[in-house]
Amino acid sequence: MFDGFDTGVVQRDGCDVFYRCKGQGPAVLLLHGFPQTHAMWANIAAKLAQDYTVVCADLRGYGASAKPKEVAQYSFREMGADQFHLMAKLGFESFHLMGHDRGGRTAHRMALDAPERIDSLTVMDIVPTHLLLDDLSKEVARVYYHWFFLAQPAPFPENLILSDPDGFFQNSLTGWGSSDLSHYEPEQLQAYRASWRNSDCVRAMCNDYRAAIDYDFVLDAEDLGRKLSIPSLVMWGSDGAMAKAYDMATVWSDLLSNFSIAMVRGGHFFPDTAPDETYQALKKFLLDVVSRQS
């Protein structure tokens, strides 16, 4: 997994950010989601690195990155600032940005905060954070119950999760679409388990969801009405909860003015369960964007 990739750590305000990097050409930053680590990109990153400089990073609170203690330190703005700092340290003032789940929400916030640094934006299997929380349907509330469970005051959710972390998080991997654990690469599952068995990581993931309600909702409300013109790709899993609850082909139309769409076979975790199909969609999008920008 990640053969030939360089590894490193950069620090921002005392917060370590772990990353892997390989390739040449335009820079592409890949951000993972909950409850995973950068390992989710292993198969896709190796192929993209044939044509691009690919960077895979652990979001703060996840994997090998730092896990600060305060809820405010987990806003998507703070997570995004880590990634901007990382890419600048690697010599990339602008780059293509792709994120799944929490990584997609971080990517959207980064594009809002510094659109001039984003060459293209890809968000995977998410609807806008403000929309999800402000117009919550009973169907979404039922399947995405973890948003509200994890956001409960500490240490209530942490204690319950740590009684059986594998049981809780593996239920997430198999519960949001048509997949079971056999559809995940063993090495990637091993990396996820190593992360979520860490009590500091569990606390951090809870703080991530607490911050979404306490901080990100307010930040996104301030940006309602803004429409990004960055070339963008909206992707989703055909069997996922978001596809069942929303019109994914149009749900981003109030926030993005220049976007295309791609539906991939599988549920929420389609980058894990259908990496080749995901890669082909990303490759096609990047080729189109780079050709238009050159």
Quick check: 84 and 110 in contact, CB under 8 A? yes
Span 109-148, pLDDT tens digits:
999 999 999 999 999 999 999 999 999 999 999 999 999 9
C-alpha closest to that of 10 among 90, 95, 68, 80? 90
Homologous superfamily of 6-293 in CATH?
Alpha/Beta hydrolase fold, catalytic domain (3.40.50.1820)
The predicted-structure confidence for 38-83, as pLDDT tens digits, reads as follows 999 999 999 999 999 999 999 999 999 999 999 999 999 999 999 9
| Side-chain half-sphere CA neighbours of 90 within 13 A | 31
Q: What percent of the chain has pLDDT over 70?
A: 100
So which residues are the catalytic ones?
101, 268
- Domain coordinates of the chain in residue numbers? 6-293
**183 burial type by CB count under 10 A (0-12 exposed, 13-18 middle, 19+ buried):** middle
Model confidence, pTM: 0.98
